[in-house]
Amino acid sequence: MQIFVRGAELIPLDVENDVAVNDIKETIAEEYELEIDNILLSFNGVPLGDDQNLSSFGITPGATIDASVKLFGGKVHGSLARAGKVKGQTPK
């Protein structure tokens, strides 16, 4: 069956109905030189587990799976956490 993976562009993939989600991630990782652990796939807003098959999510021919890449970060740097707080910088 043919499905589509939507990321930066729409990619058509020919896969079997019982293909594992991890196999699709491997294909995307090879094509775009990404780390497989950084790829997230979802269908209708539901994250797809690596060890599950497409059929277990009700994915049918012509369906579109959304792909995204994990972003690094999330920690606020110490100086940014104090931004806007003036303490000891104004002369009395």
- d(CA 28, CA 64) in angstroms, rounded, equals 14
Q: What is the mean pLDDT of the chain?
A: 85
Is domain 2-71 annotated with CATH 3.30.2290.10?
Answer: no
- d(CA 49, CA 52) in angstroms, rounded, equals 6
Please name the residue that has the structure tokens 């021919």: 61
Q: Mind listing the pLDDT tens digit for each residue in 21-56?
A: 999 999 999 988 999 999 999 999 999 999 999 989
pLDDT at 76 over 80: no
* Confidence (pLDDT) at 77: 58
Query: What are the residue ranges spanned by the domains of the chain?
Result: 2-71
- d(CA 47, CA 36) in angstroms, rounded, equals 15
Q: How confident is the model at residue 79 (pLDDT cuts 50, 70, 90)?
A: low
CA atoms within 13 A on the CB side of 89: 6
